[in-house]
Structure 1
Amino acid sequence: MLAWGVLGLTLFACNLWLAHQAAQRGYVTYVFTQTILWSVLPYLLACLMIDRTIHVPSIEGNSLIGLSTAVPFAALLGVVLMFHLPYSRGALLLSYGVTLLWLWLGYRRFISRYVPVFGALDAQAVGTLQAMLDMPGAARPAPATLRVVRSETEARQCDGIMLDRSAPLNDEQARLLVQLKISHVRIYSVERVGELLTGRVGLAHIDTEFHDEHVSRLLFDAFKRLTDIAGALALLPFALPASLLVTLAIRAESSGPVLFRQARMGRFGRPFTLLKFRSMTHQHGTEHQFAVRNDPRVTRVGRVIRKYRLDELPQLWNVLAGEMSLIGPRPEIVEIAQRYAQSIPYYPYRHLVRPGLSGWAQVQQGYTATDAESVTKLGYDLYYVKHRSLALDLLIAAKTLRTLLTGYGAR
């Protein structure tokens, strides 16, 4: 990646030359060229940040590209504004766009042939990890090579060493582990490696620290609430005309209410009324059933709006009302949530955050149709609760856009 980053400096050299030529002809001012020159520094910082995280498997690495690029450029903008230096917004946006595209291409090129190697001190850790990888309905995990190591030399050939905290170490393994820590070899728990490879939390490895990690992100939750309000208001000019067309289509096809209302489980386990455009025939007693592929209850209009998630548009009101977020675990039916809370340990942890219009489970797994797949879905939801961040929200938003364009995961 560093070599790719050095190669990218030629793009800035070309931009500087073009800006200089444009300045001589009076198309831009000297400030435009000066801003491009300043942008070389955040570009190099972004290269270093990505290079330091290149060992992380792609399941999390993708979300780091945008963040690693945005932070240095935001820092440059902050310095410029603090000292009232003249700068060109166009040149800054151009440099940021070039950096983001170039580093994304380089990262994708690297991980297309990069398979991380994780070592273990015994075979039990490998077996524990394999059980985490094999779950019903889960997306395919990122590729990785697993091996048992017996010496420091073998361990240094790995990207990291994983430990099964439930398995005791013998004296030889304990001595090797101490030596590896002194030698600064990366040490991961098995559940952490599982999270890196799958984007899911291993339900058998949740401990009491999970809630403490949630509390550490309360400041982010406050910031996110502000972005939810701003995002919902920004989407209204597009959502209102689309909602009008959907309303007319539903009215023209079948009788019954346009909106479908249902009690869903909200933050901290408080029920709220979720709004959707009706996509099924108006019948009683079927709303608590899982939708199946080619469900006969779904109308022709319903198939279209469900495929492209247009039935979710009324939930922007739920967002503005503070009952939902733009990004978060999808809200579950109250009766089903209560049943899962009795049968699945730690299920209520998914209610520590506001439910969302789109979530990590939806973009990774799609729709769930069985209880076994719902258990896998919980692993994705708890991963989001544990690791929620601006970078992860942006990644989910990008994948949601793919869903809107392709209809992936609809039933």
Structure 2
Amino acid sequence: MVSYVFYTFARSIDGQNSSSEKLSTRVMLMLKRILDILLSGLGLVLLSPLFLLFATLIKLDSEGPVFYRQERIGQNRRRSERRAFDLDLTSDKRRNRNRAREDYCGKAFIVYKFRTMIKDAEKKCGPIWATKDDPRITRFGRILRRTRLDKLPQLWNVLKGDMSLVGPSPERLYFVRKFAPQVKNYTKRFTFKPGMTGLAQVEREYDSSDGDVNKKLRYDLHYINNWNFWKDIQILSRSMLVMLTGKGAF
């Protein structure tokens, strides 16, 4: 009888702790989204003159558009949305079934960046990693990449809710198709919104080979498994240092 009372009491305490942790996590995620909205909105307004300057310099430096638009894979959809997706798939025979599997990794969205490469850079070679002396990168593009300022248009993605200020880097569909079946725990990086910056981004340079994927994934998983609101603040502070020093950029 006594053991049963202790067991019931322990279960009730454990349930309270679990509920408290879930509530704390929800509050932290709410704070994260509020910070995203405030800083991205403020950034778009205050940095608008810089956007205009960069647009002019990009057009003067090389032929092509100011902005680079590309489909990336973001955060996982909710289970109910996945179920609706599957129902829609069965009613439309022409839809690509591979896309259903990819949707389990994350939701596709269009990411925006300042263009740093020549026009149609991948028209002949297809999707490949950028390298240190990549001839496709323009003169002004090298400056933007070194300072990470090419990512500033992603403030719009953050404001829309496709991305967060901090999180795993948004990945291209081509590489998701390639690495999801091969790399263990690769799809776990899609449990968080992708970020303009993140732990992997401040610890390592841009990916330049397939081998870099595993190295960055370790940082992404560490961030996801140990995330809290204050870690985001620390990473944002470190990101400013990376922008000033050009650490890890080509």
Q: 1:384 aligned to 198, 223, 226, which one?
A: 223
1:368 is the counterpart of 2:207: yes
Q: Distance in 1 between matches of 2:179 and 2:146?
A: 27
Paired residues for 1:16-35 under 5 Å:
none
Amino acid of the structure 1 residue aligned with 2:64: G
Q: 2:118 aligned to 257, 275, 281, which one?
A: 281
Q: CA RMSD in A?
A: 1.8
In structure 2, the residue matched to 1:305 is 144
Displacement of 1:286 after TM fit? 4.7
CA deviation profile, 1:154-193 (whole Å, cap 9, x unmatched): xxxxxxxxxxxxxxxxxxxxxxxxxxxxxxxxxxxxxxxx
Displacement of 1:238 after TM fit? 3.2
1:334 is the counterpart of 2:170: no
TM-score, normalised relative to structure 1: 0.47
Q: Distance in 1 between matches of 2:189 and 2:249?
A: 22
Q: Distance in 1 between matches of 2:218 and 2:241?
A: 22
Q: 2:132 aligned to 293, 307, 316, which one?
A: 293
In structure 1, the residue matched to 2:38 is 230
Greater Rg over alpha carbons, structure: 1
Give the 3 Å change call, closer, same or farther, for CA 245–356 of structure 1 in structure 2. same
Determine if contact 1:288/1:333 at 8 Å carries over to the other structure.
no
CA deviation profile, 1:343-366 (whole Å, cap 9, x unmatched): 012111100111000010011112
1:394 is the counterpart of 2:202: no
Determine if contact 2:44/2:156 at 8 Å carries over to the other structure.
no
Displacement of 1:289 after TM fit? 1.1
Unaligned runs of 5+ in 2: 1-20, 77-105
Q: 1:259 aligned to 49, 67, 86, which one?
A: 67
Paired residues for 1:11-410 under 5 Å:
217-268=25-76, 269-283=106-120, 284-286=123-125, 288-410=127-249
Aligned-partner SS, 2:181 = helix
Displacement of 1:236 after TM fit? 2.3
CA deviation profile, 1:112-161 (whole Å, cap 9, x unmatched): xxxxxxxxxxxxxxxxxxxxxxxxxxxxxxxxxxxxxxxxxxxxxxxxxx
Q: Distance in 1 between matches of 2:108 and 2:32?
A: 21
Determine if contact 1:280/1:302 at 8 Å carries over to the other structure.
yes
Q: Distance in 2 between matches of 1:359 and 1:264?
A: 16
Q: Distance in 2 between matches of 1:333 and 1:216?
A: 32
Amino acid of the structure 2 residue aligned with 1:325: S
Determine if contact 2:148/2:243 at 8 Å carries over to the other structure.
yes
Determine if contact 1:214/1:385 at 8 Å carries over to the other structure.
no
Q: Distance in 2 between matches of 1:290 and 1:329?
A: 18
Aligned residues: 199
Unaligned runs of 5+ in 1: 1-212
Determine if contact 2:31/2:229 at 8 Å carries over to the other structure.
no
TM-score, normalised relative to structure 2: 0.75
Aligned-partner SS, 1:267 = coil
Question: RCO greater where, 1 or 2, for CA within 8 Å and sep 6 or more?
Answer: 2
Amino acid of the structure 2 residue aligned with 1:252: L
Aligned-partner SS, 2:201 = helix
Amino acid of the structure 1 residue aligned with 2:66: V
Q: Distance in 2 between matches of 1:214 and 1:336?
A: 33
Determine if contact 2:36/2:165 at 8 Å carries over to the other structure.
yes
